[in-house]
């Protein structure tokens, strides 16, 4: 009987394909701190949990290729034998929660013992320390299970450094749309052995200390807009002030620097909320006014971040769009079904209530549907157009690049249209636009 720690060729093949697809689902795949992943020792990967299955795939994408990462997931998805077998093949074990029934909590003891044995075999675990997923970019309190497993596994080695917890902060450019960025920020390993003496004297105190350490590490590695009452305000402030922050620090306007800037802005907002309730309420009102004005103007914040582009430049870009339109049409027609059927199924058929699952559903359906459609379209192309085999092969290979090019073309079209609208509003001296610009400046002045 196969064990969950086995690493069959079929799993290796699937993992490589999924990771390959994952890296192409995002326009930018950025990994920081890869050198912090230790070799030849048991590790527990501990990422923040914001985007369902995508978080687990992000961990697989940075884990050593020669070992599987075994994950824990909520027990209710193991509800029938078929799904349980699939999940076991995918190296996922159930973790029972209060909502699964008090009578089932005892089953966690067997699961935790398996986890300890996995670590003793120098394998890797993946545990979401928050225990559940949220669709807001903030950390939730960490549950005890990860630390219970870590201490139990380390007891075999006593004070000898062995078991390590690897904090990982994951940031997505968008939690639903593909073609945005993903940043995987790997922190320095937490040596569980450093807490063993304290654990032997006072397990509760030691658990709280290592939990505080992991939370602080995750806070420094991820974007934590830590507010219960002003989360939307925090999002708006971060969006409105990031470019100005970068300009003041003389930093390039690149994804990684924008992420770091948003982290600093988030820290400032958290401190401000605790220190000055009146000021944060005024900021809240400004943010509501700002988002309302942008909605009325039908423009995005990024348009206001840039200087007004001259007319000749916009005309030149528009002409370029027209000239390259045939390539867009080819990419769009070839990729319409494989790219948009997963979105259609998610929206019209499955209709999940929780937004945090949207991206995962689309990704899973996409990495199945895209190669299938490409193969079928290639067969159809070969049947309709009697030509050389190498032309058919080229058609097979160019379908995806044409699709990505079509998405880029459409993105550029939207930007040019937005800039033209912005220019038109500026020339008309739109009162709402002037008001939006002034409100944005007020928001920035209050935070930077």
What is the domain-level CATH number for residue 50?
Answer: 3.40.1130.10
Q: What is the pLDDT of residues 299-347, one digit of tens each?
A: 999 999 988 899 899 999 999 999 999 999 999 999 998 888 888 888 8
Count the domains in the chain.
2
Same domain, 201 and 90: yes
Q: Is residue 267 part of a domain?
A: no
Higher pLDDT, 131 or 292: 292
Domain region containing 171: 9-221
Q: Is residue 232 part of a domain?
A: no
Residue 73 three-state SS: strand
d(CA 242, CA 251): 11
For residue 102, pLDDT over 70 is answered with no
Same domain, 321 and 208: no
For residue 101, pLDDT over 60 is answered with no
Which of 180, 205, 221 is at the close of a domain?
A: 221
Owner of token pair 């230790």:
38
pLDDT at 1: 53
Q: What is the pLDDT of residues 380-422, one digit of tens each?
A: 999 998 889 999 999 999 999 999 999 999 999 999 999 999 9
Local confidence band at 358 (pLDDT 50, 70, 90 cut-offs): confident
Q: Is residue 123 part of a domain?
A: yes
What percentage of the chain exceeds 70 in pLDDT?
97
d(CA 246, CA 263): 12
Owner of token pair 């290592």:
210
Q: Is residue 385 part of a domain?
A: yes
d(CA 217, CA 208): 14
d(CA 243, CA 241): 6
Same domain, 196 and 321: no
Token duo for residue 274? 């605790």
CA 190 to chain centre: 23
Q: Is residue 323 part of a domain?
A: yes
Q: Is residue 408 part of a domain?
A: yes
- Please give the backbone phi and psi of residue 169, each rounded to the nearest 5 degrees, phi first: -100, 130
Same domain, 183 and 59: yes
For residue 7, pLDDT over 90 is answered with no
Q: Produce one character per residue of 378-396: b if its CB has 16 or more CB atoms within 10 Å, e if not.
A: beebbeeeeeeeeebeebb
Same domain, 326 and 206: no
Local confidence band at 30 (pLDDT 50, 70, 90 cut-offs): very high
Same domain, 202 and 337: no
Element (H, E) at 306: none
pLDDT at 99: 61
Q: Is residue 19 part of a domain?
A: yes
Q: Residue 189 has what DSSP assignment?
A: P
Give Rg (Cα) of the chain: 25
Pair 312, 422: CB distance under 8 Å:
no
Distances (CA, A) of 50 to 83, 325, 419: 23, 37, 32
Q: Is residue 4 part of a domain?
A: no
Query: Is the full-model pTM beyond 0.75?
Result: yes
- Please give the backbone phi and psi of residue 285, each rounded to the nearest 5 degrees, phi first: -65, -40
Token duo for residue 189? 């390993």
pLDDT at 254: 96
Which of 176, 198, 221 is at the close of a domain?
A: 221
Closest residue by Cα to residue 60 from 168, 213, 208, 201: 168
Mean pLDDT, the chain, rounded, equals 92
Same domain, 315 and 213: no
Which of 186, 221, 256 is at the close of a domain?
A: 221
Same domain, 205 and 317: no
């Amino acid at each position: 009987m196969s064990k969950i720690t086995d690493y069959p060729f079929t799993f290796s093949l699937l993992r490589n394909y999924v990771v390959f697809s994952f890296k192409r689902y995002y326009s930018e795949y950025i990994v920081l701190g890869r050198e912090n992943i230790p070799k030849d020792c048991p590790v527990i990967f501990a990422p923040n949990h914001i985007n369902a299955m995508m978080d687990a795939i992000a961990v697989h994408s940075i884990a050593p290729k020669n070992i599987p990462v075994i994950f824990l997931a909520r027990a209710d998805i193991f509800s029938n034998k078929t799904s349980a077998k699939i999940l076991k093949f995918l190296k996922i074990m159930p973790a029972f929660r209060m909502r699964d029934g008090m009578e089932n909590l005892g089953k966690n003891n067997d699961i935790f013992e398996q986890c300890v044995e996995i670590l003793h075999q120098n394998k890797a675990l993946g545990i979401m320390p928050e225990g559940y997923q949220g669709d807001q970019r903030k950390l939730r309190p960490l549950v005890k299970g990860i630390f219970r497993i870590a201490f139990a596994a380390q007891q075999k080695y006593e004070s000898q450094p062995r078991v390590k917890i690897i904090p990982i902060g994951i940031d997505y450019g968008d939690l639903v749309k593909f073609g945005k960025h993903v940043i995987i920020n790997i922190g320095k390993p937490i040596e569980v052995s450093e807490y063993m003496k304290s654990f032997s004297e006072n397990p509760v105190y030691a658990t709280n200390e290592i939990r505080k350490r992991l939370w602080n590490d995750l806070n420094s590695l991820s974007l934590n807009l830590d507010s219960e009452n002003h989360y939307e305000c925090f999002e708006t402030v971060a969006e409105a002030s990031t470019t100005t922050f970068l300009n003041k620090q003389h930093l390039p306007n690149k994804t990684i620097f924008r992420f770091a800037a948003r982290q600093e802005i988030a820290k400032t907002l958290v401190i401000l909320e605790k220190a000055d309730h009146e000021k944060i309420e005024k900021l809240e009102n400004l943010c509501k006014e700002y988002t309302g004005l942008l909605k009325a103007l039908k423009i995005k914040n990024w348009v206001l971040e840039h200087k007004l582009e001259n007319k000749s430049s916009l005309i030149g870009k528009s002409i370029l769009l027209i000239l390259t339109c045939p390539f867009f049409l080819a990419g769009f027609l070839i990729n319409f079904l494989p790219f948009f059927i997963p979105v259609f199924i998610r929206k019209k058929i499955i209709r999940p209530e929780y937004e945090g699952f949207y991206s995962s559903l689309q990704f899973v359906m996409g990495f199945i549907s895209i190669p299938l459609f490409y193969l079928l379209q290639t067969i159809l192309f070969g049947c309709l157009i009697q030509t050389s085999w190498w032309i058919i092969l080229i058609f097979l290979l160019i379908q995806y690049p044409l699709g990505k090019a079509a998405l880029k073309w459409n993105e550029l079209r939207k930007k040019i249209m937005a800039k033209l609208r912005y220019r038109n509003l500026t020339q008309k001296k739109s009162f709402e636009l002037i008001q939006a610009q002034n409100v944005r400046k007020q928001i920035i002045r209050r935070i930077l």
